[in-house]
Structure 1
Amino acid sequence: MRRILGIDPGSRVTGYGVIESNGIRSVHIASGCIRVADKKFAKRLGEIYRRLSEVVEEFKPQEMAIEQVFMAKDASAALKLGQARGAAICACVMAELPVFEYTPRMIKQTVVGSGGADKDQVQHMVKHLLKLEQKLASDQSDALAVALSHAHTNSTLYSLAKAGGWRR
């Protein structure tokens, strides 16, 4: 079993989720949201870095997976999201964790089976796959979806490599 930290970055709310997985079976270890909305932007980035460093220290993941930035209508929001991702990635790199990145579409495809799935579908599948009863915040379930996507994708790639790769 590998311990994976999934991160759904945001400049105001950053979700995190820690799972253990062998690529087939996954278990929820911890998850939550880092809320930093009431601070100046530079302070928010510092807080994301500091609090994710604490999560890494407490739960000792072996790998980190994070959602890639997508270009929304507002370029300014995309830039802020990219900076929040940078703070999160730095916290994990400083802890010497390997970092893996996934597009939102790939995460949805892996967890739900459809790259166009909505947030409710993602949350439903996350709760089902991890056998969770409690209500999850949207950012929290998205972070767990990132971790699950990494666990399943990475396991498939590892199995293919072990078997000699694609064969025609």
Structure 2
Amino acid sequence: MREGEEKKSCVRTILGIDPGTNLMGYGVIRVEKNKPSLVVMGVLDLRKYADPYIKLQKIFTRTLSLIDEYKPEEFAIESQFFGKNVQSMLKLGRAQGVAIAAAAYRNLSIHEYAPLKIKMSLTGNGMASKEQIAEMVRKLLKVQKEEMSTFFDATDGVAAAICHFFQSRNTVQEKKFNSWTDFVAQNKSKVSRPARTAKTVKTDNSQ
């Protein structure tokens, strides 16, 4: 394998999706030398569309455009939780299915994670709030506060990608992180060292 090809193979790009029928959150992270960094986070705003099938079309096409633009190899999505409102569950299930179909259409490796699993993976607390999840996303990826999305849907999408990073075997150093705690334990210098300069991160609130 050539040097350039070897370096490219050591980089993983993961697209995370938080499905929804009003807002679809998404985040792309890149993992190089076992270190994750944020590429983009944002939301697809579906609130202006009354037709539920138009919403599904927008979810499908936006997911495809994210895949085509950022070229992820892996796709992580928050799976459906079981609530009391059957209609809401049905709508959410459709939104999730359409996003998965887009990933399958582009031949991505697809992984589903329950909300509880994502919360436990990032914080060690299955009852963690969205605010806590967003803060852990910011700390782990070393994102400046002013560069964070104002939508928790976006940070939830990033959280799905990070959860997959923790749960999957890293192809560079053959390590496996099962939680944020594991990552901190094995990367103390990376986590504790303060950032010297602000980092520009692309945020995106697509319409």
Structure with the greater alpha carbon radius of gyration: 2
Same fold (TM over 0.5): yes
Q: Return the alpha-carbon distance in structure 2 between the equivalents of residues 23 and 109 of structure 1.
A: 24
Alpha carbon RMSD of aligned pairs, Å? 1.7
| Alignment correspondent of 2:17 | 7
SS in 1 for 2:168: helix
2:158 equivalent to 1:144 = yes
Partners in 1 of 2:169 and 2:160 — Cα distance? 14
Q: For residue 89 of structure 1, what is the aligned residue in structure 2?
A: 100
Query: Quick check: 1:120 aligned with 2:120?
Result: no
Paired amino acid for 1:9: P
Partner AA of 1:148 in structure 2 = I
Give the letter for the 2:86 counterpart.
A
Give structure 2 stretches of 5+ with no counterpart: 1-10, 177-207
- After TM superposition, list the pairs within 5 Å mapping 1:34-53 onto structure 2: 34-39=44-49, 40-53=51-64
Give runs of aligned pairs for residues 54-73 of structure 1, distance below 5 A: 54-73=65-84
Where 1:155 maps in the other structure, the secondary structure is coil
Normalising by structure 2, what TM-score?
Answer: 0.73
1:51 alignment partner AA = R
Per-residue deviation, residues 64-96 of structure 1 (Å, max 9, x unmatched): 000010012211001100000011001111011
- Paired with 1:66 and 1:135, the residues of 2 have a C-alpha distance of 20
2: CA distance, partners of 1:23 / 1:36: 37
Give, in whole Å, the separation in 2 of the partners of 1:147 and 1:22: 14
| Unaligned 5+ runs, structure 1 | 161-168
8 A contact 1:18–1:29 mirrored in 2: yes
- Report deviation, 1:38: 2.0
Between the two proteins, the alignment pairs up a number of residues equal to 160
From 108, 116, 130, give the equivalent of 1:105: 116
Q: CA deviation at 1:114?
A: 1.1
Matched, 1:132 2:143: yes
Deviation at 1:34?
Answer: 0.6
Q: Which residue of 2 aligns with 1:165?
A: none
Q: 1:18 aligns with which of 25, 28, 32?
A: 28
1:24 and 1:152 in contact (8 A); partners too: no
Runs of 4+ in 1 over 6 A off after TM superposition: none
